[in-house]
Amino acid sequence: MKPDPKPVKAPSSATVQSARTTAIQIVFGFLAVMPLLALALDEPFYLTLFGRVMVYAIAALSLDLILGYGGMVSFGHAAFLGVGAYTVGILSFHGIESAFLQWPAALLFSALAAVLIGYVSLRTSGVYFIMITLAFAQMFFYFFTSLEVYGGDDGLTIWKLSSFGGLISLDDNLTLYYVIFTALGGCLYLSHRLVNSHFGRVLQGIKSNETRMRAIGYPTMRYKLLAFTISGTMCGLAGVLLANQSEFVAPSYLAWHRSGELIVMVLLGGMGTLFGPVMGAIAFMLLAHFLADLTIYWPVIFGPFLIAVVLFGRGGLHGLIGRMGGKGG
């Protein structure tokens, strides 16, 4: 008789978590020292590239709060990115350059937009929710396109960046980079505290079985609306940073394909993992940049890669790192 095959030992959760923690440390360590590498290689362009990568990482992280933890598939999340960016651009156009006025105003308007969109769209679910969020985003897109005084379809150039009253200067690319880096770290910390709080556990319960959560007494609509508002406000912060980093705002920030890109970043990195969307944003932005240098048909190359990750990489890049770490352990 042949001996029974030995059972394959599954990697321990501690080993998997250790691999993911190591990956997070490597990514954050690289982002922290990247400006030094860019200056050493005399390639200041990479400051701009990785600054934009981190901006979109914040936007993807904000979407993951409602998509990965709340099960709300918003196809209009870029609306909040545009509201935050346009608030900075419009106030700057009228001579209001103080960041202590611009940034709170941008966050407030992003939050109000999220309350409006969430209050209406959260009364539906499934494909109806997706279509209503998309419809709202398109309404905002055409609204800003119609504002001819602020550039209309051509966009609006920001001649003076947000001012912190001499404390720091965003005109310096290195300073702006580390402001974005700090904002990303802060958003990750706040998101971690949020999803591991009682509120976060209730939100995940609603995603799993909203009917049961409602039956035991939780006002699920309030929880989802609050999560949607927090998510929209965080995405508005990404818009503020994008406006300063690009020195330009345009209706294209609110376009439906921008929302689609944010969803792709979340799926690529791993839904409901916090750091997964950050890795997804890094992978998406860098692949798009370098593939675009090779051919204008870069989506033809990127598409099959994304499909392979979704089909075979359960949990996206975050899950793949965990499995590789488990095998290595």
State the pLDDT at residue 8: 47
Question: What CA–CA distance (Å, rounded) separates 132 from 222?
Answer: 19
What φ, ψ does residue 98 adopt, rounded to 5°?
Answer: -65, 125
Confidence class of residue 299 from pLDDT cuts 50, 70 and 90?
confident
Pairing of strands 156-157, 248-249: antiparallel
**pLDDT of 139 above 90:** yes
pLDDT at 6 over 60: no
Question: In 3D, which of 298, 262, 322 has the Cα closest to residue 59?
Answer: 262
Strand partners of residue 169: 163
Query: What's the pLDDT score for residue 14?
Result: 65
In a 10 Å sphere around its CB, with 0-12 CB exposed, 13-18 middle and 19+ buried, how is residue 67 labelled?
Answer: buried
Closest alpha carbon to 241 in 315, 146, 175: 175
- Chain segment 172-208, per-residue pLDDT in tens: 889 999 999 999 999 999 999 999 999 999 999 999 9
pLDDT of residue 16: 65
Answer yes or no: CATH 3.40.50 is held by domain 13-328: no
Q: How far apart, in whole angstroms, are the C-alpha atoms of residue 61 and residue 266? A: 8
Q: Name residue 111's beta-bridge partners.
A: none
Q: What is the pLDDT of residue 322?
A: 65
pLDDT higher for 265 or 24? 265
Distances (CA, A) of 204 to 65, 110, 223, 241, 279: 10, 24, 10, 29, 22
pLDDT mean over 297-325 = 73
pLDDT > 70? residue 94 = yes
DSSP E strand stretches across 97-236: 156-157
Q: Percent of the chain having pLDDT more than 70? A: 90
Q: Domain locations in the chain?
A: 13-328
Query: What's residue 179's pLDDT?
Result: 95
Averaged pLDDT, 73-97: 94
280 contact partners, CB below 8 Å, separation of at least 6 = 60, 264, 265, 266, 267, 268, 269, 270, 316, 317
pLDDT (tens digit, 9 = 90+) per residue, 118-136?
A: 999 999 888 899 999 999 9
Burial class, 144, CB count within 10 angstroms (exposed 0-12 / middle 13-18 / buried 19+) = buried
Dist. CA 197–CA 192, nearest whole Å: 9
Q: Is the pLDDT of residue 301 over 60?
A: yes
Asked if pLDDT for residue 109 goes beyond 90, the answer is yes
pLDDT at position 119: 94
**Range with the poorest average pLDDT among 133-147, 151-165, 216-230, 304-318:** 304-318
pLDDT average, residue stretch 8-25:
66
What is the C-alpha to C-alpha distance for residues 20 and 22, in angstroms, rounded to an integer? Answer: 5
Say whether pLDDT at 2 is over 70. Answer: no
- The rounded mean pLDDT for the chain is 87
What pLDDT score does 329 carry? Answer: 46
- Band (pLDDT 50/70/90 cuts) for residue 318 is confident
Residue corresponding to tokens 């979109």:
56
DSSP 8-state assignment for residue 185: H
E runs forming strands in the chain = 156-157, 248-249
118: part of which helix (H) or strand (E)?
helix 99-121
Are 87 and 237 in contact, with CB atoms under 8 Å apart? no
Q: Stretch 76-92: mean pLDDT, rounded?
A: 95
Taking only the tens place, the pLDDT of each residue in 220-264 is 999 999 999 999 999 999 999 999 999 999 999 998 889 989 999
Nearest Cα to 279, choosing from 57, 10, 46, 22?
57
